[in-house]
A and B are shown apart, each in its own frame.
Chain A
Amino acid sequence: MKRWAALIVFVSAMVLPWLWGSATLWAMNLFIWGLMALSLNLLYGYTGLLSLGQGVYFALGAYGAAWAVIYAHANFWVAVGAGLLCALVGAFLVGWVSVRASGFGFVVVTLVTALICYLIALSADSITGGEDGMPFRAPALTLLGLVLSVRDLWVRYYLALGALLAGLGIVYLVSKSLLGLAFRAVRDDEIAAAALGYDVFKIRLFSFVLAGVLAGLAGAVWAISKEFVRAGLFQPFGAFLSAQPDPDPLIAVLLGGVGRLLGPLVGMGGLLVLRELLVSIWPQGYALLMGALILALVFFRNASRCAAARVLILSS
């Protein structure tokens, strides 16, 4: 039954641009932000590290790809690789410092690094474009001898879908492997895990870097498909400075079920539908509802006496 459902979803995702053209752009955004939520879920859901500065690696992935194109006239695959490399190096450096702390200490380090990166990106506006951002011309996508332009919506759509499937595959493999077990062991009881011989620092660092690379992949795909980057991507809580916040990966993870493979995707889908519904009738309502949603989800998950929680949290 589950397999059939997955097959149906997969096939409809494959044929969507040809059947329902006007939803293509929406679905593309879902895939990119969904990948971002997937990355956060790997870190928070599986390893228990709550990062509120995951936007940094998204931004590094985006800028890595953009800089490779602008300064080195890189081709498509090199640009994506450069984005991943930037995110990887950034995540490794920050992770080296931050994963030594856990709980709120980790949250503070991720937030403050994000703020520092943002301020530096604003200051270096000649290479980042500052708050206005900067456009660039994305290189053509070459695949099996085909040359495809990302200016065609369907190319962008399958690019985002491909990135998402790759991300899902990685998270699935990790969660089924011994490494996934180690992640969960560290999440559930740090001291017991250490006593069992796990190197808690290395496991956390690996999880942090892997999540960073996934966020970087989302960022690189975002930048290439929008042909655009802006410094605001680095900003912690940046999305919440505007009246119409970008879909927040954390809320998607909480909504879809922490530590579930497909949960973040379902959650992100829910958020994007909600936004589409509210944008025409009550534009300010979306951000207000986000706050209420966090409170409700967290509150009911913890005070699990409430039966409504089972309905709200789809799969936990």
Chain B
Amino acid sequence: MELWALTLLNALVWGVLWALLAVGLSVIYGALGVLNLAHGALYMLGALLSWALTPTLSFWGAVVVAPVLVGLVGFGLAWLLLIKHEQDPLTALLMTFGVMLILQQLATILLQMTTGELRHALSPSVRWPIAMGTRFYEGYRVVAAVIASAVLLGLWGLWSGTRWGCSVRAVRDNRKLARIVGIPVSWVRASVFGLGTALAALAGALVGPITREVSPTMGIEILLVSVLIAVAGGLGSLGGSLVVAFLYSFAENLLTMLTDPMLARAGALLAIGLILLVRPQGLGGSS
């Protein structure tokens, strides 16, 4: 019994983290029409930066600062590569692929220089075990999930309640018209890219103590799953991403209890893929 309860709790925690990643991808697509393949690498950058900053800023300081820094990097990248020169969607996708390779390889080189050949960067140890029957659950995971939810809630407020959110939606729906009514379109688009990457970096910073290790390839591991969640949720739709993220997380965690982790992940991916077969525009997407 307690096994299943713990599994469900863990699925909930991961659901929020997947949502954070997928929502980032989704808003970027909404405003820029770009599928950001560098999302995983920016998530890794967030984890790496928070690991590097923890000794000076403490873990919680690093969790705040790392996403801001990565968000600025994202802003700059978007401005230089995607906005200053308008790109068609496939070219833009290839560019983010190039960025992904560069970031990942830079991280490899840096980690090798600081931690040696093994590249073994242990994440800061924040656990707060809570006894549950004969087992423990890390209280940290719950806290991380709460923080992520709060950020998502704040994002929703920003999205629906502020002038900036209004401009983002205007840019998404009709860019030309938005420009005509005086919205600084380029600035809005770059800021959305920055915000999306900051969300990825926050997920990376929060996930460090859960995965216990920061590695250059951790981004590739989560990239395709979050892309599929964002697409199946309907690109540009926040609510859709959220729902699909939870569906995926529950499917994967429950299947892992029944079968081996590889089949569990394949099964969860297939299940999410089925949504696309039924609704090609995604759960929350408009056709």
Which residues from chain A contact B227 at a C-beta distance below 8 Å?
108, 111-112
B95 touches A243 (CB 8 A): no
Q: Is A134 an interface residue (CB 8 A)?
A: no
Q: Is B188 an interface residue (CB 8 A)?
A: no
* Interface size class, chain B: 35 or more
Give A281-313 as 1s and 0s: 1 = Cβ < 8 Å from B's Cβ atoms.
000100110111111001101110000000000
A97 touches B277 (CB 8 A): yes
Measured CB to CB, the residues of A under 8 A from B are: 50, 52, 97, 100-101, 103-105, 107-108, 111-112, 115-116, 119-120, 122-123, 236-237, 240-241, 243, 254, 284, 287-288, 290-295, 298-299, 301-303
A241 touches B224 (CB 8 A): no
Q: Tell me the dominant secondary structure on chain A's binding face.
A: helix
Give B108-136 as 1s and 0s: 1 = Cβ < 8 Å from A's Cβ atoms.
11001000000000000000000000000
Which residues from chain A contact B277 at a C-beta distance below 8 Å?
97
Query: Given A284-B109, A299-B85: A291 and B100 within 8 A (CB)?
Result: yes
The segment out of B11-19, B55-63, B206-214, B262-270 that lies at the interface is B262-270
CB distance from B119 to the nearest CB of A (A): 10
Which residues from chain B contact A254 at a C-beta distance below 8 Å?
94
Q: How far is the CA of A298 from the CA of B99 in the complex (A)?
A: 12
Total CB contacts across the A-B interface at under 8 A: 107
CB distance from A244 to the nearest CB of B (A): 11
B38's nearest neighbour on chain A, judged by CB, is A291
A107 touches B266 (CB 8 A): no
A243 touches B108 (CB 8 A): yes
A108 touches B228 (CB 8 A): yes
CB distance from B239 to the nearest CB of A (A): 20
CB distance from A46 to the nearest CB of B (A): 15
Q: Is B44 an interface residue (CB 8 A)?
A: no
Which residues from chain B contact A291 at a C-beta distance below 8 Å?
98-105
A123 touches B262 (CB 8 A): yes
B109 touches A123 (CB 8 A): no
A53's nearest neighbour on chain B, judged by CB, is B224
A50 touches B90 (CB 8 A): yes
Supply 6 A–B pairs (Cβ within 8 Å), ascending by A. Answer: A52-B97, A103-B90, A237-B223, A284-B112, A288-B109, A291-B104
Query: Given A104-B90, A108-B227, A291-B102: A284 and B108 within 8 A (CB)?
Result: yes
Which residues from chain A contact B103 at a C-beta distance below 8 Å?
291
Given contact pairs A107-B35, A122-B262, A298-B95, a sample of 6 additional A-B residue pairs in the complex whose CB atoms are under 8 Å apart: A116-B269, A284-B112, A291-B98, A294-B101, A298-B98, A303-B85
